[in-house]
């Protein structure tokens, strides 16, 4: 829009003045429209901000419910394995129909009186990449605990006479708890925690030597404990 000095305005005729007034009115209307548009955008922004807040709250609530449901489901999956033991180091060349015989021979070496009548099943893990791992399910939990309490004897035993080398016996973990175990192992290697172990079918850790034992039943337990660390890095079991 043009600008005019006082002297110039005095020289304007009526038609020029009307033109200037119309021009000013048009510019004013444009500014009002821009102001209205800005207010509308501002209101839309505030509305979207509120929707985002509500969405975040809803997402947090749904996440809590999901974690609670998963925690229960994972616990049930692990409970179903309470009579199971996992042995690693079994020669992959041993025929499947001889697995139980070899496992019972290992138990006899540790002086655990486990016989075939106490065994419900014995088989290799389905994973082809881990053919030396064997799962054995006993009929009673107390027999499982008996074996676990004496497994340290394996360190001092020579199993060469039955064609076996280093054998390790542990509680059998469901895939979800194996994930927690692997992530705890990762944290231990990074010296974030001082120790980790399995007790009664649950993964437990100690952040420091003199700190309390923490029981983990969901991967989010580690996420909450160590928010600065990407727990989901290399998300494998």
In whole angstroms, what is the distance from residue 171 CA to residue 74 CA?
A: 15
What Å distances lie between residue 108 and 2, 102, 151, 173, CA to CA? 105, 10, 11, 24
pTM strictly above 0.85? no
Let me know the angle formed at the C-alpha of 202 by 65 and 172, rounded to the nearest 5 degrees: 115
Sheet holding 84-88, edge to edge: 119-124, 133-138, 84-88, 168-171
Q: What is the pLDDT tens value at each position of the chain, 237 positions in all?
A: 556 566 666 666 777 777 777 888 888 888 888 988 899 999 999 999 999 999 999 988 998 999 999 999 999 999 999 999 999 888 888 888 888 998 898 888 887 788 899 999 999 887 655 567 899 999 999 999 999 998 888 777 666 655 566 788 899 999 999 999 999 999 999 999 999 999 999 999 999 999 999 999 999 999 999 999 998 875 444
């Amino acid at each position: 829009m043009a600008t005019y000095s006082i002297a110039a305005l005095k020289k304007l005729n009526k038609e020029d003045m009307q033109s200037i007034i119309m021009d000013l009115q048009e510019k004013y209307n444009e500014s009002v429209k821009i102001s209205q548009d800005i207010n509308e955008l501002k209101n839309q922004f505030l509305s979207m901000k509120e929707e985002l807040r509500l969405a975040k709250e809803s997402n947090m609530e749904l996440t809590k419910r999901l974690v609670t449901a998963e925690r229960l489901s994972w616990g049930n999956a692990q409970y179903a394995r309470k009579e199971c033991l996992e042995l690693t180091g079994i020669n992959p060349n041993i025929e499947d129909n001889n697995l139980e015989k070899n496992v019972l021979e290992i138990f006899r070496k540790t002086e655990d009186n486990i016989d075939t009548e106490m065994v419900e099943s014995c088989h290799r893990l389905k994973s082809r990449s881990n053919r030396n791992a064997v799962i054995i399910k006993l009929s009673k939990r107390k027999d499982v605990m008996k074996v676990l309490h004496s497994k340290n004897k394996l360190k001092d035993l020579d199993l060469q006479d039955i064609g076996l080398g280093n054998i390790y016996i542990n509680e059998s973990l469901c895939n979800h708890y194996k994930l927690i175990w692997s992530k705890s192992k990762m944290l231990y290697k990074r010296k974030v925690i001082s120790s980790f172990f399995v007790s009664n079918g649950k993964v437990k850790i100690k952040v420091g030597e003199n700190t309390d034992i923490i029981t983990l039943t969901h991967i989010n337990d580690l996420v909450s404990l160590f928010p600065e660390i990407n727990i989901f890095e290399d998300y494998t079991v």
